[in-house]
Amino acid sequence: MYDVIIVGGGPAGLNAAMILGRSRRKVLVFDSGEPRNRWSDSMNGFLSSDGVKPQDFLKKGREELKKYNVKIVEKVVISATYSKGEFIVNSDDLKVYRSRKLLLATGLKDTLPELEGIEPFYGKSVHHCPYCDGWESRDKDIAVYGKDRNGIGTALGLKTWSDSVTLFTDGTDKLRQVDRDLLHRNGVEVCTDAIARLEGEGTQLQRIVLKNGTVRQQQAMFFATGTKQQSDLGNQLGCEFTNKGVIKTRRLQKSNIPGLYVAGDAARDMQLVIVAAAEGARAAVAINMELQLEDRK
Ligand SMILES: Cc1cc2nc3c(=O)[nH]c(=O)nc-3n(C[C@H](O)[C@H](O)[C@H](O)COP(=O)(O)OP(=O)(O)OC[C@H]3O[C@@H](n4cnc5c(N)ncnc54)[C@H](O)[C@@H]3O)c2cc1C
């Protein structure tokens, strides 16, 4: 029986494992090796680690955990249940593990725009988060991809990083006059024509080719197409979700299920590595305090 099983070895899960390891807890971390930012070459905005490779950051984290009673298993957790005060966790090799507490740090995955040619640019010159990649895109010709009215906020926000921002609604024409006025007043150009494909050199986006044959020169793209939970475990365990599709947490990352905590992107709409790591630490302290209380004579 483990004190704590953590599902997810990204920044949230590993930071939780560190605090729990340092609290002399017996910890098992499952990780399927698909952190959300694996498409990117640099993890930006984390003090002391600004610009490091995401893989190097996680590798260093795993190294640091070696001195604690933390075991990391590279397997997928396929199901988890809660019964009579313990969690029963099944991995994809059909093994069963038990723990007193469970932390989900399973993250989110992005819904990529369905655009021909996007793959080599994703995470390099096509992004979703201005706080992660806006600085690197500063003063470039930035395209914002959002069908219907979905890209308005992102397009307006990106004016902080560049004067040249164009909103592409890709063949949809749902913008209201009031939207168009707002975008125009703030210097955002609008293109409603359908997109044929993205083109560029290596990982650098250079052009958006429209179905009408027009070519638009763009050096960066940000998209607003939403996210999904990377794992179904929150659903299986009966967690409550917000209307934004993340797991609802109470004080100190507690879910609505006793003993079940959730940290990182899976539980938050502020999705940054440093926030995920901090939430992992919060959950770990809360879990340790709960275990202390249960064991007190
Ligand atoms: C392209 C891109 C670039 C980004 N750049 C930045 C940046 O520069 N700066 C920044 O602060 N943020 C950046 N982000 C956001 C950042 O990636 C997330 O905020 C952060 O990774 C969240 O950490 P997490 O631990 O919650 O989830 P993740 O890092 O996604 O880790 C979740 C882990 O759980 C594992 N997992 C999921 N389900 C299971 C299961 N059932 N069994 C076992 N393991 C499982 C996954 O394999 C994964 O390793 C970027 C995101 C993207 C998509």
Write down the pLDDT at residue 197.
98
Query: DSSP letters of 167-220?
Result: EE-TT-----HHHHHHHHHTTEEEE-SPEEEEEEETTEEEEEEETTS-EEE-SE
Please determine, for residue 269, whether its predicted confidence score (pLDDT) is greater than 80: no
72-115 pLDDT tens trace: 999 999 999 998 889 999 999 999 999 999 999 999 999 999 99
141-168 pLDDT tens trace: 999 999 999 999 999 999 999 999 999 9
Select from 261, 273, 275 the residue to mutate for testing ligand 1; criterion: most ligand atoms less than 8 Å from CB: 273
Kindly list the distances between the CA atom of residue 125 and the CA atoms of 112, 132, 177, 271, 274, in Å, as whole numbers in the listed order. Answer: 13, 12, 31, 19, 22
Task: Quickly state the pLDDT bin for 268 (edges 50, 70, 90).
Answer: confident
Atom of ligand 1 nearest to the CA of 271: 19
Q: How far is the C-alpha of 97 from the C-alpha of 110, rounded, in Å?
A: 30
Kindly list the distances between the CA atom of residue 281 and the CA atoms of 14, 89, 105, 251, in Å, as whole numbers in the listed order. Answer: 9, 22, 11, 13
Write down the pLDDT at residue 88.
97
Please give the average per-residue pLDDT across 116-139, as a whole number: 97
Is the minimum distance from the CB of 54 to ligand 1 under 6 angstroms? Answer: no
Q: What is the DSSP letter of 263?
A: -
Select from 7, 47, 72, 106 the residue to mutate for testing ligand 1; criterion: most ligand atoms less than 8 Å from CB: 106
Write down the pLDDT at residue 270.
84
Q: How far is the C-alpha of 152 from the C-alpha of 147, rounded, in Å?
A: 9
SS3 90: strand
Please determine, for residue 292, whether its predicted confidence score (pLDDT) is greater than 90: yes
22-50 pLDDT tens trace: 999 999 999 999 999 999 999 999 999 99
Is the minimum distance from the CB of 77 to ligand 1 under 6 angstroms? Answer: yes
Is the minimum distance from the CB of 44 to ligand 1 under 6 angstroms? Answer: yes
Domains defined for the chain, CATH in brackets: 2-110+227-295 (3.50.50.60), 119-223 (3.50.50.60)
Is the minimum distance from the CB of 183 to ligand 1 under 6 angstroms? Answer: no
Is the minimum distance from the CB of 105 to ligand 1 under 6 angstroms? Answer: yes
Please give the average per-residue pLDDT across 233-251, as a whole number: 95
Please give the average per-residue pLDDT across 177-185, as a whole number: 98
Write down the pLDDT at residue 224.
85
Write down the pLDDT at residue 21.
98
Is the minimum distance from the CB of 32 to ligand 1 under 6 angstroms? Answer: yes
Task: Report the first-to-last Cα separation within the chain, whole angstroms.
Answer: 21
Amino acid at 243: N
Write down the pLDDT at residue 226.
87
To which residue do tokens 């007193």 refer?
Answer: 100
pTM: predicted TM-score of the whole model, two decimal places: 0.96
Please determine, for residue 171, whether its predicted confidence score (pLDDT) is greater than 90: yes
Is the minimum distance from the CB of 132 to ligand 1 under 6 angstroms? Answer: yes
Q: How far is the C-alpha of 252 from the C-alpha of 285, rounded, in Å?
A: 8
Write down the pLDDT at residue 76.
98
- The whole-chain average pLDDT of the chain stands at 97
Is the minimum distance from the CB of 51 to ligand 1 under 6 angstroms? Answer: no
Write down the pLDDT at residue 121.
98
Rounded distance from Cα 9 to ligand 1 centre (Å): 9
Contact 297, 69 (CB under 8 A): no
Write down the pLDDT at residue 199.
98
- How many C-beta neighbours within 10 Å does residue 274 have? 15
Please give the average per-residue pLDDT across 236-259, as a whole number: 94
